[in-house]
Amino acid sequence: MKIVILDEYLVCRGNLDFEALRQFGEVVSYPATARGEAAERIGDAEAVFLNRVVIDREVLSRCPNLRFIGITATGYNMIDLEAAGEFGVTVCNVPAYSTEAVAQLTFALLLEIACGVSTLSAHVHAGNWRSPLDPFVAEHRSFELCGKTMGIVGMGDIGYRVAQLANAFGMDVLGYRRHPDRSLERENLHFCDLDDLLERSDVVSVHCPLTSETRGLIGERELARMKDGAVLLNTSRGPVLNEAAVAAALDSGKLYAAGLDVLSSEPPKEDNPLARHPRCVVTPHVAWTPRETRARLIGVCVENLRCFLEGRPQNVVNQKA
CA distances from 79 to 186, 211, 286, 305 (A): 38, 12, 21, 17
Q: Which long-range contacts (CB under 8 A, 24 or more apart) does 199-202 make?
A: 199/225, 199/226, 199/227, 200/149, 200/151, 200/174, 200/227, 201/149, 201/150, 201/151, 201/174, 201/226, 201/227, 201/230, 202/148, 202/149, 202/150, 202/227, 202/230, 202/231
Tell me the backbone φ, ψ of residue 266, rounded to 5 degrees. Answer: -135, 120
Q: Alpha-carbon distance 174 to 315, whole Å? A: 29
Closest CA to 239 of 204, 213, 221: 213
Q: Which of 52, 207, 237, 296 is catalytic?
A: 237
Instruction: Assess whether 294 carries a catalytic annotation.
Output: no
Q: Do you find a cis peptide bond into 267, omega within 30 degrees of 0? A: yes
Instruction: Assess whether 270 carries a catalytic annotation.
Output: no
Contact status, residue 45 vs residue 305, Cβ threshold 8 Å: no
Q: Find the DSSP H helices in 130-193.
A: 135-138, 157-168
Q: Which of 52, 177, 277, 285 is catalytic?
A: 285
Contact status, residue 161 vs residue 106, Cβ threshold 8 Å: no
Q: Which of 266, 279, 303, 306 is catalytic?
A: 266
Beta bridge partners of 26: 2
- What element of type H or E holds 258? strand 255-260
Contact status, residue 203 vs residue 229, Cβ threshold 8 Å: no
Instruction: Assess whether 207 carries a catalytic annotation.
Output: no
Residues that are catalytic: 237, 266, 285
